[in-house]
Chain A
Amino acid sequence: MKGLLIHGVSHAYGDNKVLDKVAVVVPAGELVCLLGPSGCGKSTLLRLAAGLEVLQEGSIVIDDVTVASNTVHVEPENRHIGFMFQDYALFPHLNVLDNVIFGMVGSAADKARSRAMEMLDQVGMVDQASKHPHTLSGGQQQRVALARALAPEPKLLLLDEPFSGLDTNMRARIREETLGVLKEFGVATLMVTHDPEEAMFMADRIKILGSDGHILQAARPHEIYYHPKHEFVAKMFGLMNRFDSVVVNSQVETPLGSVAAPDMADGIKVQVLIRPEGIVLESHENASGTAVELLSTHLLGHDNIVRVRLASGSSSELYVRVHHAFEPELALGIKATIDSDYAFVFPLDVEEGGSSSLVKAAQ
Chain B
Amino acid sequence: MVELTSSFELEFDALDQDHQKMVDQVNAIIKKIDAGNTDDCKALVADFVALSKRHFAREEALLVSVHYPDVEKHRKHHLDLNDKFDHMLEFAKMAPENDMACESLKKELVYFIMDDVITADLEFKDFLSQT
Contact = CB atoms under 8 A, between A and B. Distances in A.
B31 to A, nearest CB: 17
A27 B6 CA distance: 15
A27 B110 contact: yes
A8 B122 contact: yes
A23 interface: yes
A229 B80 contact: yes
Given A1-B8, A220-B104, A220-B107, A27 B123 contact: no
A1 B125 CA distance: 19
Q: Chain A interface: which size bin?
A: 20 to 34
A219 B84 contact: yes
A66 B8 CA distance: 12
Contact of A204 (B3, B107, B119, B126): B107
A165 to B, nearest CB: 30
Contacts of A64: 5-7
B108 A220 contact: yes
Contacts of B24: none
A25 B114 contact: yes
Contacts of A204: 107, 111
Contacts of B119: 5, 7, 23-25
Interface string B1-43: 0111111100000000000000000000000000000000000
Contacts of B3: 1
Contact of B116 (A1, A59, A218, A229): A218
Contacts of B64: none
B87 interface: yes
A66 B122 CA distance: 15
B114 A27 contact: yes
B74 to A, nearest CB: 12
A223 B87 contact: yes
Nearest to B115: A25
Contacts of A7: 119, 122-123
B89 to A, nearest CB: 14
A27 B115 CA distance: 10
A21 interface: yes
Interface string B82-112: 0110010000000000000000100110110
B83 A223 contact: yes
A23 B116 CA distance: 9
Contacts of B80: 229
Contacts of A1: 2-5, 7-8, 114
Interface string A39-80: 000000000000000000001010010100000000000000
Contacts of A175: none
A218 B84 CA distance: 11
A205 B3 CA distance: 20
A196 B4 CA distance: 32
A5 B8 contact: yes
B120 interface: yes
Given A23-B115, A23-B120, A227 B2 contact: no
A23 B7 contact: no
A132 B11 CA distance: 53
Nearest to B6: A64
Contacts of A23: 115, 119-120, 122-123
A229 B114 CA distance: 20
Contacts of A21: 123
A7 B120 CA distance: 8
A205 B7 contact: no
Contacts of A30: 107
B86 to A, nearest CB: 9
A174 to B, nearest CB: 25
Given A1-B7, A8-B125, A27-B114, 10 more contacts: A1-B114, A5-B119, A7-B122, A7-B123, A8-B126, A23-B122, A204-B111, A205-B115, A220-B107, A223-B87
Interface of B: 2-8, 80, 83-84, 87, 104, 107-108, 110-111, 114-116, 119-120, 122-123, 125-126
11 contacts: A1-B3, A1-B114, A8-B126, A23-B120, A24-B119, A25-B111, A27-B111, A64-B7, A205-B111, A223-B84, A229-B80
10 nearest A-B pairs in the assembled complex, by CB-CB distance = A25-B115, A7-B122, A61-B7, A23-B119, A25-B114, A64-B5, A7-B119, A25-B119, A5-B7, A1-B5
